[in-house]
Amino acid sequence: MPRLTKIYTRNGDQGETTLAGGLRVSKDDPLVDAFGTVDELNSTIGLARSLWRADVSTDARRLDELLAGMQNQLFNLGAQLATPKAEFREGMPCVSGDQIAALEGVMDEMNAVLGPLREFILPGGVPAAAALHQARTVCRRAERLCVGLRREDRIHAEVIPYLNRLGDALFVLARWANKLADVPDVCWRH
């Protein structure tokens, strides 16, 4: 059975959108801004994946698989953000401490291969790495947007640590993409 039969509904023509549970809010509501930015982040990771050749090695496939997993989790996060806390039910997709720990594990594994940073890194390198750096900056914006929402108790506590760790992971994966492509990171010259 198709999930969507028609893409346009005209329901948003007056500048409002519907959250999960039916609540109508303005499209400039900070909550809509947050889940819209998470969608932008997901698209940016998709761009990075499209620039990456996952067929060249096991490590290259692994990077693509990690990014695909992040995209799926971001879709869950977008749904979580689009669901008012009062409407949230057990079993609905959400970020958790397990996903935060998994990101930390990936970073620890990759950093063991990359070695310590001795200088600040500029966004760049191979196109996929540059796109991952761009994804990192979008992730940081999503995180900033969620801080105020958390202060107002409009989102779950795990959202900010998850986005914080995801931004870190995207930085590490950008470095790893450059290493896999045998392209050095672009170092800041001060």
Q: Where are the domains of the chain?
A: 22-82+92-183
Residues of the chain with pLDDT under 50: none
Structure tokens at 155: 């989102």
> Can you list the alpha helix ranges (DSSP code H) found in the chain?
30-51, 58-81, 97-114, 127-151, 159-180
Rounded Cα distance, 32 and 20, in Å = 12
- Phi, psi for residue 121 in degrees, rounded to 5: -105, 135
The Cα 101–Cα 156 span in angstroms is 17
pLDDT of residue 7: 82
Contact (Cβ atoms closer than 8 angstroms) between residue 52 and residue 63: yes
Q: Are 139 and 168 in contact (CB under 8 A)?
A: no
Q: What is the pLDDT of residue 1?
A: 65
Q: What is the pTM of this model?
A: 0.93
Residue 82's φ and ψ, nearest 5 degrees, are -80, 0
DSSP assignment of 172-184, as one string?
A: HHHHHHHHHTT--
Q: What fold characterizes domain 22-82+92-183?
A: Hypothetical Protein Ta1238; Chain: A; (1.20.1200)
Identify the three-state secondary structure at position 122.
Answer: strand
pLDDT of amino acid 39? 98
